[in-house]
Amino acid sequence: MSPALFRDLVLHLTKREIDTTHRMTLLGWLWPLARQLAQLGVLVFIFASVLPLDIDNYAVFVFSGLIAWAWFQSGIASAATCILA
């Protein structure tokens, strides 16, 4: 499979997944991003201002953890759906 064909296939499948997952929602496919940014904002506010942890680049640290958690969470949800189907 050529790289251009592979890239087109991945883009098509990604767009289809996003369209079917977030169909008929108010914010569409931007909703997961908005939810992640809201979580990031709350966590950074609490642990940088209210309960300071004195960690350099804390926002980047938390954001990388949230991305890994979201990936794990969606994998578990997809696995459960696959088993039930």
Backbone angles phi, psi at 22, to 5 degrees: -115, 30
In tens digits, the chain (85 residues) has pLDDT values of 788 888 898 889 888 877 777 666 666 667 777 888 898 899 889 988 888 888 888 888 888 888 888 889 888 988 888 888 7
| Nearest by Cα to 37 from 62, 57, 1 | 62
Q: What is the pLDDT of residue 22?
A: 66
Q: What is the pLDDT of residue 76?
A: 92
Q: What is the pLDDT of residue 24?
A: 64
